Amino acid sequence: MSHMSFAHPYFGAFFSMFLAFFIFLGIVLAARYISRALCAKDGEKLKLTIYECGFPATKQPNRISTHFYLFALLFILFDVEIVFMFPWAVNFKVLGIFGFIEMILFIALLAIGFAYAWNKGALEWHNIK
């Protein structure tokens, strides 16, 4: 059996990393339990009361359409392509014909995804009623 050597040059870094992680975990758990112990438990009645004017608050399920999520996801997908196109445009001469062909393939792949989303009707805004 060999004994563990503490003479490794990175032992101090690993030890401080694990120590910092466990201190962080302890602070987060302590803050969670302290906040739950000190919070007011009867806040639900106050939240449902009418304040000065308006309709009485009722508990209703959240009816957010998934179409909002799909539209945002498609926006982010096609917006991220600019992040890849900008460095390509800056280094266009350095990359040469290989970089040009790679970008054409990238744009073709995005065009296929755009055509698929358009064909499925993901870009049409439906009236929800």
Q: How far is CA 26 from CA 15, 22, 34, 38, 117, in A?
A: 16, 6, 12, 18, 46
Is residue 33 one of the residues assigned to a domain? no
Radius of gyration from C-alpha coordinates of the chain: 28
Q: Residue 112: give its domain's CATH number.
A: 1.20.58.1610
Is residue 73 one of the residues assigned to a domain? yes
Number of domains, the chain: 1
| Structure confidence by residue, pLDDT tens digits, 53-74 | 666 656 666 667 777 787 788 8
Spans in the chain with pLDDT lower than 70: 1-6, 40-63, 126-129
Structural element, H or E, at residue 70: helix 66-90
Q: Which domain, by its residues, includes 107?
A: 66-120
Is residue 9 one of the residues assigned to a domain? no
User: What pLDDT does 58 receive?
Assistant: 66
User: What pLDDT does 8 receive?
Assistant: 77
Is residue 96 one of the residues assigned to a domain? yes
